[in-house]
């Protein structure tokens, strides 16, 4: 079939897939979204043409339909339920964003009030969890502790593990979002040997988290509005990011019918890696390693040398091929926090110099590598007094609402199936077993 014949005889809302080996062809229906690229529906390809599609890392594959978050990586756009991230970061608060992500709309005043009440009711953790916590070594990484504690929630909250019951799904969602700050603070306090601090429901979600992390029972604790606002922005910016590695992990784990606590624990484990949420910790380690502005050129030479297997952490993104809008908000927030605290952080200066040099370098320009959200978040968190090992934990606290929203969307999707990718097998063909004395 020539290209002209194909165009004349096939509907415009489909794509023709021709197998040149056999001459067989099929029509792939095209599904449009609200905005962004359309998708070709390849679900029947194997049944019709007896072949799989190949896409390691899902660079061209949409794994689901979603109404939650939209990213235009070329234009540097990020929308939660249609609202631009910059507007939410400036004008909203984290709980309002949680409501938006979970329910699809911004809350009215009474809805926001009621929503807040539900979270404060569930902010405490089961007292017995302390004994579970004590099983960890004091020097355990807080991400390891968080992963364990969240996984253990399914052993503590039996009345919210039935995924087929919408009431239990709602309860599990609220419990997870409400308790994550408490668990994160507990992981921190345990590692530094200070008494665990109970949540205080008079404080906002973010302030409560800061109080549980930084206050001690012997001293009154006073929040700083500039720092609370910066933290609120960090939480909002990290709340969701469509089908990234950890969210896809949550969806895949959940597709088998696993309970929500187990699924979120899986998401936390995936987030921990340095190519994903662990990058904020890695950025600080990298800046420390560079040490001084004069060492930047040598470091960048190393990054550009493929044999060195080094990366400029906090740079590059699978989807953003222009700027990461989250990084733009955080760059400004970093300056505000450092000014408020009167900190002249040489690492921030180093980071800014590194950013400028990298942005002018043809290696980064050609590959469209720009600073991502992790480039600046670490500087803010460090200035606020968080140990580096807590950086990814904070990412997990903020991302929990995104994971839960995506998990719920998947459970409620009538087209949902257990996630089960196929493979291109390149191993040995069938062969017969050889006894050990004959090998
Ligand atoms: N430093 C140096 N080179 C890079 C970097 C980097 N940070 N990122 C990508 N490249 C190069 C890569 O070597 C490759 O070059 P070539 O074409 O010559 O082989 C090219 O750019 C494309 O890279 P890729 O690995 O195919 O891109 P990817 O989409 O698979 O990776 C990424 C995306 C985020 C894993 C990667 O950019 C990276 O490792 N960045 C550093 C880690 C980081 O900051 N991660 C946080 C991501 S944002 C927060 C989050 O969502 O978790």
pLDDT tens by residue, 386-424: 999 999 999 999 999 999 999 999 999 998 899 999 999
Q: Is 18 helix (H, G, I), strand (E, B) or coil?
A: strand
Which atom of ligand 1 is nearest to 395's Cα? 52
Atom 15 of ligand 1, nearest CA residue: 367
Measured distance CA(184)–CA(126) in Å, rounded:
14
- Look at 70 and 281; give whichever has higher pLDDT: 70
Which of 275, 283, 316 most suits a substitution to test ligand 1, by most atoms within 8 Å of the C-beta?
316
Q: Is the CB of 316 under 6 A from ligand 1?
A: yes
Contact yes or no for 155/186 (Cβ under 8 A)? no
For residue 369 and ligand 1, the question of a CB distance below 6 A is answered with yes
Calculate mean pLDDT across residues 175-198.
Answer: 95
- Spacing of C-alpha 32 from chain mean position: 26
Q: Residue written as tokens 């709340």?
A: 239
Q: How far apart are alpha carbons 119 and 203 in whole angstroms?
A: 12
CA gap 255, 311 in Å, rounded: 33
Look at strands 39-40 and 25-31 and give their pairing. antiparallel
Contact indicator for 407, 254 with CB cutoff of 8 Å:
yes
Contacts of 179 (CB under 8 A, 6+ apart): 122, 123, 124, 125, 153
Question: What per-residue confidence (pLDDT) applies to 11?
Answer: 63
CA distance 14 to 31: 8
What is the sign, positive or negative, of the torsion defined by CA atoms of 425, 429, 433, 434? Answer: negative
Taking the centre of ligand 1 as the mean of its atom positions, its distance from the CA of residue 372, in whole angstroms, is 10
What percent of the chain lies above the pLDDT cut of 70?
Answer: 97
Catalytic residue numbers, as ranges: 317, 374
d(CA 237, CA 326): 6
Ligand 1 pocket residue status of 318, Cβ below 6 Å = yes
230 lines ligand 1 (CB under 6 A): no
Whether the pLDDT of residue 6 is over 80: the answer is no
Give the per-residue pLDDT at 399.
98
Note the pLDDT of residue 9. Answer: 60
What's the rounded mean pLDDT across residues 421-434?
97
CB 354 near ligand 1, within 6 Å:
no
> Which pLDDT belongs to residue 287?
92
pTM of the model: 0.91
Nearest ligand 1 atom to the CA of 306 is 13
SS3 (DSSP) at 84: strand
373 CB near ligand 1 (under 6 Å): yes
Residue whose Cα lies nearest atom 40 of ligand 1: it is 316
């Amino acid at each position: 079939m020539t290209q002209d014949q194909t165009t004349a005889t096939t509907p415009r809302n489909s794509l023709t897939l021709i197998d040149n080996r056999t001459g067989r062809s099929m029509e792939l229906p095209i599904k449009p979204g609200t905005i962004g690229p359309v998708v070709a529906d390849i679900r029947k390809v194997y049944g019709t043409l007896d072949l799989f599609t190949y896409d390691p890392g899902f660079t061209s594959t949409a794994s689901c339909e979603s109404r939650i978050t939209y990213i235009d990586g070329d234009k540097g756009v990020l929308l939660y339920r249609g609202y631009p991230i910059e507007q939410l970061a400036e004008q909203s608060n984290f709980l309002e964003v949680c409501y938006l992500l979970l329910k699809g709309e911004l809350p009215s005043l009474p809805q926001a009030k009621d929503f807040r009440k539900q979270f404060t009711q569930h902010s405490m953790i089961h007292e017995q969890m302390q004994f579970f916590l004590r099983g960890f070594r004091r020097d355990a990484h807080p991400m390891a502790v968080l992963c364990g504690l969240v996984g253990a929630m399914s052993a503590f909250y039996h009345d919210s593990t039935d995924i087929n019951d919408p009431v239990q799904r709602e309860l599990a969602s609220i419990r997870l979002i409400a308790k994550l700050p408490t668990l994160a603070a507990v992981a921190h306090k345990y590692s530094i040997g200070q008494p665990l601090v109970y949540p205080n429901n008079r404080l906002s979600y973010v302030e409560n988290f800061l109080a549980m992390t930084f206050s001690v029972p012997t001293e009154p604790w006073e929040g700083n509005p500039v720092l609370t606002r910066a933290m609120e922005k960090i939480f909002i910016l990290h709340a969701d990011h469509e089908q990234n590695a950890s969210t896809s992990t949550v969806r895949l784990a959940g597709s088998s019918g696993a309970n929500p606590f187990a699924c979120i624990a899986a998401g936390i484990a995936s987030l921990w890696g340095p190519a994903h949420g662990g990058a904020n910790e890695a950025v600080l380690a990298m800046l420390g390693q560079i040490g001084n502005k004069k060492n930047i050129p040598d470091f960048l030479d190393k990054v550009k040398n493929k044999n060195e297997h080094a990366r400029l952490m906090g740079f590059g993104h699978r989807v953003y091929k222009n700027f990461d809008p989250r990084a733009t908000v955080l760059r400004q927030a970093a300056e505000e926090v450092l000014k408020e605290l009167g900190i002249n952080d040489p690492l921030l200066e180093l980071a800014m110099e590194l950013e400028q040099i990298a942005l002018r370098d043809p290696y980064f320009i050609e590959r469209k590598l720009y600073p991502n959200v992790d480039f600046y978040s670490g500087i803010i968190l460090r200035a606020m007094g968080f140990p580096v090992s807590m950086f990814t934990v904070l990412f997990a606290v903020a991302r929990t609402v995104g994971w839960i929203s995506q998990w719920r969307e998947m459970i409620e999707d009538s087209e949902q199936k257990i996630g089960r990718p196929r493979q291109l097998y390149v191993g040995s063909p069938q062969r017969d077993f050889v006894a050990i004395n004959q090998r």
